[in-house]
Each structure stands twice: as structure tokens, then as C-alpha cells.
Amino acid sequence: MTRGTVNAPRQSETPEEARTTSGAKATVRLEHVTKVFDDASAVDDLNLDVMEGEFFSLLGPSGCGKTTTLRMIAGLEDPSSGRIMLGGRDVTYMAPYHRDVNTVFQSYALFPHLDVYENIAFGLRRKKVDKAEVRRRVGRILEIVDLPDFERRRVNQLSGGQQQRIALARALVNEPTLLLLDEPMSALDAKLRHQMQIELKSIQSRVGITFLYVTHDQEEAMTMSDRLVVMRHGKIEGIGTPRDVYDNPTTEFVAKFLGASNLLAGVVAGRHDDVTTVTLDDGASLSVPTSRLPAGVTSTTVKVGVRPEKISIASSEKTSTPSRNTLRGRVRVSTFTGVGNQYLVEMPSGADITVYAQNIGEELAPRSGDEVLLSWPVEHTFAVRPTADLVEAEESEL
């Protein structure tokens, strides 16, 4: 992921040139798209490509602009400015029914007076598709969503997960270029939601249609997406594969929103080859790969981060090694979670570091009050610029 270029303006291209270096074509292209409601920007100068055949997620908290973005792509909202391209065609102000797009909503919007077959066939009948072709396509899509014998079931006879799959089948049977999904699993319980994440990704892989998925659930986005964006205040704060965005967060907000992250304030103190030294507020020093510093940083305040599962925890008698970052602290809370242990370790500065340790039974787990040594490979360390309004929000909670 290249830092600092997420919303950079593109050079002019024809639709035929709108391809990545790998040759993939953009199904969706947003160019400087902005949406303003009552003088407030819900979406702010958004530039984004969603590639053909991708499972792409818009991830972020409520009010970040992700659903407004989806509604503009669907044609349910007009942008205040900018351009929306679908398959190389400008659809910015085109009516929804003229776009080769289908949408699955949170409520599923199934017709309760129709059985499963007629719900799925509804769009095909409106297009006046031949009856034999309707039967073939409905039968095929029911096989894909693993409900082949449900044609004559009523909607009220289906479970929540079955209703979701029928809503998905009804959208897919029209063979759209793009399928939009607006938090379709929010009404399901946790166990069923996890099952459906796996099934939905499997279905998308089988049909090969581009999916654009809106969610506030980090696990959903991480589990299913080929790529994702993290949005905040109508802008993109991070973009890339789930692993890339998780391991290389571009901002403090992304580091905190996508999984748990330890962030320690410090100042860039010096550089040696490919490693930069950061001095923490309590005087300790950590090494950060220079490539993982925020773009343009020379000598400034940063926050050094490491994910909890990257950290090893040992008794304080253990010695540190040069190739690893190390900190010493005291266990404040030790919690057994079954698959492992979770620790809150207090640093001399008073800050807490969270550590996740697997339950592999190699040695006795540290207990509350124990002095410990925390260590992790330098390459698992990153740095981000502090986000001013996040700092203000944290201080207001104290």
C-alpha cells in the first residue's frame, strides 16, 4: 500500500485504459465524488476503483459515508459533484433501472405474498425472459445458494439465513455486472453471521460477479474481502488487501478501528540504514522500519504501533535481543480466554499494552503483579501520525 496517495487525482484515461497493471478492468470508478447534505459533506472528494470480479468492502463506523457511497453507485442518490463510471460508462445521473446493478438491503425486501420461486423470478419476468429460461436460471441459482428444493416455500417459512440467501439469489439471477450489499447480515445472530460470511464469499467466487459490500463489522470485511477501504468523515483513510491494511495501517484511526492495536507516543530521534529510532515519552526507544513511517516524516511526533498478537511475553529475567523491540512492565490484568491468555501490561509511563498469547502450554502464564519483558520483531512495528480529533476525543473521556 502506498502511503499518502489514496485520494490523489488520476491522470485522464479513456474507459479502455482504466485498467490496473495486471490487466484487470475497473467495474466501478469514482472520480472526485462528493455528496453534501445541508452543508455537511457525507462523502468528500472520493476517488476509488473497484476491479472486475472483486469482493470489495466499504468499512467504517456509522456516519462515515459508506452507505451514501453505495446509494450513489446504485443511483438512489445523486452526487453533488464528481463522476461515477460503471464498466467504463458514465452513469452519474442515470436512473437506477438503467444501471446494470442489483442491490441486497439489510431487510432483504422479499415479497411475502410470493413463494421462493416467484421471488427469484420476479426480475426476470419484468424483463420478459422466456419461461423456459426463467426455470433454468432460477433452478441454477437455487443450486448455487444451496437451496435447491425450496421453490414452493413461503418466505415466512424460511430462517433468517435462508431469507438472506433467497434475497441474494433474486439479485444474482439477473446476472448484473455489479452486486451491491448494504449490511445484509446485520440482523443475523453471531453464529449464523459467521457461517454466512464463508458462504457469501464462496458464492461470489463461483458466480464471478463484482461484489461491493458495505459493513461496519471488521471481521466481516476481513473474512470476505479481496480488498477493502476504511472510511472516516467521508474520506478513505486506508485501502488495500485485508492483510495489508491490518499490518500496515496508514493512520491512527485505521490502526484502532481495524482490530486491536497498541499505540505509544514518541518522537523520531534518528535513522540508521533502513531503521528509524523513536524515543517514547517515558524515555524508552523503539526501532521502526523506515518504510513503515508516515509519508514525509522527518522529525516529528508519531505513534508507534504493534498488534497484540505479535508480542511475546516472558518473565523479566529474560534478556533482550538486538533484532527485537523490547519493553519492560508489570502485568496489571491477566485473563484466560481458552484459546489463549490476554494481558494488560502497565508501562513505566502508565500506558497499558495489550498482549495476546496462545495457549500452547509451554510455560506458566504470567500472573497479575508479575514483572515481565515484552518483545517483538522490529519488522512488526509501524508508526502513524497522531490524529488530532482522536486525541481530543480520548482526552474528553478522561
pLDDT tens for 283-295 read 999 999 999 988 7
pLDDT at 7 (0 to 100): 39
Element (H, E) at 342: strand 340-346
The Cα–Cα gap between 353 and 365 comes to 16
pLDDT of amino acid 43 = 97
What is the topology classification, in CATH, of domain 260-397? OB fold (Dihydrolipoamide Acetyltransferase, E2P) (2.40.50)
At residue 297, the pLDDT reads 63
Instruction: Express each pLDDT in 179-192 by its tens digit.
Output: 999 998 887 788 88
Q: Residue 252 pLDDT more than 80?
A: yes
Residues 6 or more apart from 179 whose CB is under 8 A from it? 101, 102, 103, 104, 171, 172, 209, 210, 211, 212
Closest CA to 280 of 372, 349, 354, 350: 349
pLDDT in tens, 55-80: 999 999 999 999 999 999 999 999 99
Q: Is the predicted pLDDT of residue 315 greater than 90, yes or no?
A: no
- Would you call 41 exposed, middle or buried from its count of C-beta atoms within 10 A (0-12, 13-18, 19+)? middle
Domain locations in the chain as residue ranges: 15-100+176-247, 260-397
Q: Is the model's pLDDT at 109 over the cut of 70?
A: yes
pLDDT grade for 221, boundaries at 50, 70 and 90: very high
Comparing 2 with 353, the larger pLDDT belongs to 353
Question: Residue 207 in contact with residue 165, Cβ under 8 Å?
Answer: no
Amino acid in the structure at residue 305: G
Using an 8 Å Cβ cutoff, are 268 and 338 in contact? Answer: no
Write the CA distances from 20 to 13, 16, 25, 62, 350, integer angstroms: 12, 11, 7, 31, 47
- Cα-only R_g, the chain: 25
Which residues, at least 6 apart from 227, have a Cβ–Cβ distance to it below 8 Å?
Answer: 51, 54, 56, 57, 239, 240, 241, 242
For the residues 152-158, what does the mean pLDDT come to?
A: 90
Query: What's the pLDDT at 359?
Result: 81
pLDDT at 348 over 60: yes
pLDDT score of 187: 75
Q: Decide yes or no: CATH 3.40.50.300 for domain 15-100+176-247.
A: yes
pLDDT per residue as tens digits for the range 130-144 = 999 999 999 999 999
Comparing CA positions, the residue from 123, 119, 125, 164 lying closest to residue 145 is 164
Q: What is the pLDDT of residue 395?
A: 45
Statement: residue 393 has pLDDT above 70:
no
